[in-house]
C-alpha cells in the first residue's frame, strides 16, 4: 500500500510539471502571436479602436459645426437680402468635383426638342478619331 501511494504521488508530480510546462508554452505562444499581430498592424498603419473612436468623435463635432455654420450663413444671406430689398438668391450650383453637389440641374432638359440632326444637345456628333 505504501508503494502505491508513492507511485500516485510521483504520477501527480509529473502531471503537475507537465501542466506548468504547457501553461508556460501557452503564455509564450500568446506573447509571440500578440507581438506579430501588433507588428502587422503597425506595418499596415491600421487604426486601433481608440484612434477610430477619436476620429469618429472629431467627425461628429465637425459635422455639427458645419451644420451650425450653414444655418448662420443662411440667416446672414436672408438679412443681407432684406437690407438690400431683394429676394434671397437660390442656392448656387456647386461643382461636383471640388465639393459636394447640391441640387444640380439636369445636363439636358427632358422636355428639350431634338434639333434637325436628331441630337438633343444641338450640333453635330463628334468623332473620337477626328
Classify residue 60: in a domain, yes or no: yes
Query: pTM (2 decimals)?
Result: 0.36
**Where are the alpha helices (H) located in 1-95, listed in sequence order?**
2-44, 49-84
Helix (H) or strand (E) holding 45: none
110 vs 30, more confident: 30
Tens digits of residue pLDDT in 72-114: 999 999 899 888 887 666 555 555 556 554 554 555 555 555 5
Question: How many folded domains does the chain comprise?
Answer: 2
In the chain, what is the greatest distance between 2 CA atoms, to the nearest angstrom?
Answer: 116
Whose grid coordinates read 430689398?
85
Classify residue 72: in a domain, yes or no: yes
Domain that holds residue 53: 48-89
Classify residue 98: in a domain, yes or no: no
Tens digits of residue pLDDT in 34-51: 999 989 888 888 777 888
Classify residue 114: in a domain, yes or no: no
Classify residue 1: in a domain, yes or no: no
Give the chain's mean pLDDT.
77
Amino acid at each position: 500500500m505504501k508503494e502505491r501511494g508513492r507511485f500516485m504521488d510521483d504520477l501527480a508530480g509529473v502531471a503537475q510539471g507537465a501542466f506548468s510546462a504547457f501553461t508556460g508554452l501557452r503564455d509564450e505562444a500568446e506573447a509571440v502571436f500578440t507581438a506579430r499581430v501588433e507588428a502587422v498592424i503597425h506595418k499596415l498603419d491600421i487604426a486601433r479602436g481608440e484612434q477610430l473612436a477619436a476620429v469618429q468623435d472629431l467627425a461628429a463635432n465637425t459635422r455639427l459645426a458645419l451644420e451650425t455654420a450653414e444655418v448662420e450663413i443662411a440667416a446672414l444671406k436672408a438679412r443681407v437680402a432684406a437690407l438690400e430689398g431683394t429676394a434671397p438668391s437660390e442656392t448656387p450650383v456647386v461643382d461636383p468635383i471640388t465639393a459636394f453637389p447640391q441640387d444640380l440641374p439636369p445636363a439636358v432638359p427632358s422636355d428639350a426638342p431634338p434639333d434637325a440632326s436628331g441630337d438633343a444637345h444641338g450640333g453635330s456628333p463628334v468623332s473620337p478619331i477626328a
